[in-house]
Amino acid sequence: MAFSLIGSISPYVTPWRGVAALCLLPLLIVLGFYICSTPNILRDLRRRKLPPGPTGLPFIGNLFDLADSNHVKDKAIEWWQKYGDVFYTRIGGTDYIWLSSPKAVKDLMDKKSNIYSSRPPMPLAQDTASAGCRQVFMPYGPRHRTVRKISHDLLNINATAQYQPIQDVESKQLMFELLEDPNGFYDYNRRYSASLICRIIYGERIQDWTDPLIQKIFSVLINLSDISSPGVHLIDTFPALKILPQWMCNDWKNYARKICEHDSGIYLELWRDLNKKVAAGNIKPCFGKDFVEKDLEKLQMNELEAAFHTGHLIEAGAETTSAALNSLLLALTLYPEASKKAQEELDRVVGPNRLPTFEDQDKLPYLKALVKEGLRWRPPNQYGMHHAVVEDDWYEGMFIPKGAVVMLNWWAIHFNPEVWENPYDFHPERYLGHPSPAATYLNASDPSARDHFAYGAGRRVCPGIHVAERSMFINIARILWSFNISKKVVDGKTIEPETLCVPGWLSVPQKFECSIIPRSEKHAEVIRREHELTKKDI
Ligand code: HEM
């Protein structure tokens, strides 16, 4: 092939043909690589037994079907209905196996977690832009186990009980912010979530939205979203292309290096500040302090890895929590019946003179159900959770090839009308039979006993689950105790809230409008009083 191309640009051909050939050269090389590096039936006969699925286009597979993140949900449900609980798609050279029933998730991600807990190769997002350091993209292996253990020590159920007082204070500030400036609710939820994690990790709060620290953190989060959306970067769609010169693939390395420079710069600055404060004895008890005092050599971590490992916990915990809070506010705006029922329960259990506390939790079954319904209705990312399988496997007569991305298809599971009546409606009652926290149901032996799959599955399940659950409970309980949420009315006209998500990986709702009004002057007074009292803790 190379020979005939060289021939075609010889002086004996017309100039335009030479130009066309030059343009075709990269395309043909890429195509050649694709054919040689992509698994196909000719090279592996077992692929005839791949799960059924939609036929994709040559070369790109189902890339276009999944290009609009806001429509992945509809596709994921449509394909499940057509092809069954385990179906197959392809993007570029990567196989995708979608697990669309609790049983399939249990059988593979949980029961065979030794081989279903990895992540697909991401030369751009993980190897270059994250310097290989982001836990959430790390392939399964000794390095992932080390950082996972560190997260577990920080976030296990006993350790997280000590963060409740921080959640209490941050949440009281959130109620005060909503009282003073209800239109800013979207960013106040973000401030809450980022401040909580910063306090736990670096011992530092974020006082308000203009705080430079939150601006820095969100600049990293924007990069993270840019690098991680499936199908957006050719090189992560076709990882085998990484051996080609980068000019053929959109200059991907330079782009990823710039992101890495920016993100590592911020994380290193935070890490070095942390070290200085620890050395000066000028820091509140926090994860960062304990981590700095650990022997990094023993953990086989260099400075950059340690900096990423502290910083990335903020990215993992901040935007997920604020997106879940904002999604719940959206649901409450659209479904006022749910707010009304939760408020009746709160009035009965808590009364009018104080804010709800963590101690009220067991007496508020409807409110706990409402939080679960929020995560069923809008799970944390728009695609489903992706693991990668590290060995060839068979499931119910279907071949699952080594290296396939295995998707936890929470859209199909959460919107199965045989399990959840009218699944598109927000209806907390459906969870009254699941009174315990989500962590209790993770390892249930009966796969259908799980409440929802929004925290993932198997060995990669969200280690921040206890912190997240408490944040969701305390803030939603207090918001509904304090305020009436409804659609906004301007000049007599009702404004329908925007229901789409920001394009990209995470299910971050687009900014939307809603009305947040104190339920009475007495409720407002309680918020002011409680906020005033927290000033001594801040
Ligand atoms: C409502 C809030 C949250 C939701 C819905 C959520 C959900 C998830 C999901 C679905 C995963 C991937 C699971 C899988 O691969 O199967 C994950 C991973 C992770 N989450 Fe969360 N999360 C939340 C909050 C938090 C918080 C508050 C923290 C930490 C403070 C946290 C830390 C992490 C970490 C470190 C990982 C990576 C785990 C690994 O790859 O080993 N998350 N989370």
pLDDT in tens, the chain (538 residues): 332 332 333 333 445 555 566 667 777 776 676 667 677 787 889 999 999 999 988 878 888 888 888 899 999 999 999 999 999 999 878 899 999 999 999 999 999 999 999 999 999 999 999 999 999 999 999 999 999 998 998 899 998 999 999 999 999 999 999 999 999 999 999 999 999 999 999 999 998 888 888 888 889 988 988 888 766 787 887 787 777 777 777 789 999 999 999 999 999 999 999 999 999 998 988 888 888 888 778 888 899 999 999 998 988 999 999 999 999 999 999 999 999 999 999 999 999 999 999 999 999 999 999 999 999 999 999 999 999 999 999 999 999 999 999 999 999 999 999 999 999 999 999 999 999 999 999 989 999 999 999 999 999 999 999 999 999 999 999 999 999 999 999 999 999 999 999 988 889 999 999 999 999 999 999 999 999 998 776 6
Atom of ligand 1 nearest to the CA of 193: 27
The residue whose C-alpha atom lies closest to atom 19 belonging to ligand 1 is: 462
The residue whose C-alpha atom lies closest to atom 2 belonging to ligand 1 is: 321
pLDDT computed for residue 530 by the predictor: 96
For ligand 1, which residues put their CB under 6 angstroms from it?
135-136, 148, 151, 155, 197, 313, 316-317, 320-321, 324, 375, 380, 385, 387, 454-457, 460-464, 467-468
The residue written with tokens 């059924």 in the block is 52
Concatenating the DSSP letter of every residue in 275-311 gives: HHHHHHT---S-HHHHHHTS-TTTTT--HHHHHHHHH
Residues in contact with 355: Cβ distance below 8 Å, sequence separation at least 6, in sequence order: 172, 175, 478, 481, 482, 526, 527, 530
Residues in contact with 531: Cβ distance below 8 Å, sequence separation at least 6, in sequence order: 172, 173, 175, 176
The residue whose C-alpha atom lies closest to atom 6 belonging to ligand 1 is: 455
Distance CA 111, CA 86 (A): 16
HEC assignment per residue over 429-480: HHHCCCCCCHHHHCCCCCHHHCCCCCCCCHHHCCCCHHHHHHHHHHHHHHHH
The residue written with tokens 């959640």 in the block is 167
Atom of ligand 1 nearest to the CA of 144: 41
Atom of ligand 1 nearest to the CA of 387: 15
Binding site residue list for heme: 462
CA distances to 224, 300, 384, 390 from 409, rounded to whole Å, are 22, 35, 5, 19
Identify which of 418, 386, 417 has the alpha carbon closest to the alpha carbon of residue 404. 386
Model pTM score: 0.91
Atom of ligand 1 nearest to the CA of 201: 30
pLDDT computed for residue 69 by the predictor: 85
pLDDT computed for residue 19 by the predictor: 58
Would you tell me how many other CB atoms lie within 10 Å of the CB of residue 359? Answer: 7
pLDDT computed for residue 61 by the predictor: 86
The residue whose C-alpha atom lies closest to atom 43 belonging to ligand 1 is: 462
Concatenating the DSSP letter of every residue in 303-328 gives: HHHHHHHHHHHHHHHHHHHHHHHHHH
CB–CB of 316/464 below 8 Å?
Answer: yes
CB–CB of 419/396 below 8 Å?
Answer: no
pLDDT computed for residue 174 by the predictor: 97
pLDDT computed for residue 34 by the predictor: 67
The residue written with tokens 């009281």 in the block is 172
Q: What is the dihedral of CA 354, 285, 289, 155, to 10 degrees?
A: -40
First to last CA, the chain: 70
CB–CB of 430/373 below 8 Å?
Answer: yes
pLDDT computed for residue 142 by the predictor: 93
**At what angle are helices 336-349 and 365-377 packed, to 10 degrees?**
150
Q: What is the largest CA-CA distance in the chain?
A: 92
Give 536 Cα–ligand 1 centroid separation in angstroms: 32
Angle at 391 between CA 385 and CA 397, to 5 degrees: 85
Give 413 Cα–ligand 1 centroid separation in angstroms: 19
pLDDT computed for residue 143 by the predictor: 92
DSSP run (H or E) holding 241: none
Distance CA 437, CA 467 (A): 11
Return the best residue to mutate from 126, 135, 217, 320 for the ligand 1 pocket (most ligand atoms within 8 A of CB).
Answer: 320
